[in-house]
Amino acid sequence: MGNPVSDLKHSAVREPKPPLAAKSPVETQSAMLMPTTVVAMKGLLTRLGAIMVIGSQMLQALELPAGPFANLKSDEFRVRESAQAEILAWARERREAAMDELHHQSRTAGDPEVRERCLAVLRELVNDEYLQEGEGYIGIRMQDENANLPGDPKPRSVIRVVQVVPDSAAHQAGLQLNDLIAGLGDTVWREGKASLVFGESIRQIKPGTRITLRILRDGAMMDLVVKLGRRPLAADNPFLDQRQVDLEAAERTAKEAYFRRWLERRKPRN
């Protein structure tokens, strides 16, 4: 006779489990990719955050080049001068951050020689800004003429160069006495006094801008690139030769005043 309990277990009918709903290929792929994508995005954001922090620290930690900075207090004048020139060249490559550090060192450096030389470099950088403000200046005296130019059947208004101011933009570009200026960029003058239009155009161009002059020299046309300077006080003075010394002093005074205003606006770094 069998065991009733055992027989009951074997004879019981089990309810089948409902089948699991099959996932579509898209759902399966998404489920596989989501954890990987999230991890990758978190990693990318972490790296970007680290880069931003490092970049911010680099800007905050900008220091003057160690060797030249140390040489600013050398016992030898020649070494101090060379170090100052090196720091100026270095600062012009990273102007804004360098100006901040130079301003800081000019106020806080322990050695007075270092403070003075940092201030001198800072003054040069601010002078660069001064020269980029104001009106454009080329540095010539002009005479209006009409001339026949190669390739043009009709005479045109041109400008004869009757003086080139030493060390001016024109002088540095190689403009010569008796050159004929026949155009400024794509602009030419068919009639009237070209010198008036030319002079006004130059004044409206920002200092430091490169312009192209169309020049007639020795019967041949050529292009001459000129980097404009800043219009000096002397340019508007009719007694240039007689009062050159006074005008140079006035120009130095204007530069110094600009530098002092710059210092007043600059917030000291703690």
Mean pLDDT on 27-40: 50
What tokens appear for 3 in the block? 């065991």
Q: Which CATH number fits domain 136-234: 1.20.58.220, 3.60.21.10, 3.40.50.300, 2.30.42.10?
A: 2.30.42.10
Q: What is the pTM of this model?
A: 0.56
Q: What Rg do the C-alpha atoms of the chain give, in angstroms?
A: 37
Sign of CA dihedral 237, 238, 243, 245: positive
Q: Which residues in the chain are classed under CATH 2.30.42.10?
A: 136-234
Amino acid letter, residue 56:
S
Distance from C-alpha of 77 to C-alpha of 181, rounded to nearest angstrom: 47
pLDDT at 25: 52
Dump pLDDT digits (tens) for 181-234. Answer: 999 999 999 888 999 999 999 999 999 999 999 999 998 999 999 999 998 877
- How does strand 220-227 pair with strand 229-230? unpaired
- How does strand 220-227 pair with strand 140-147? unpaired
Cα 221 to chain centroid, rounded = 33
Cβ 213 vs Cβ 139: under 8 Å: no
| % of residues, the chain, pLDDT over 70 | 72
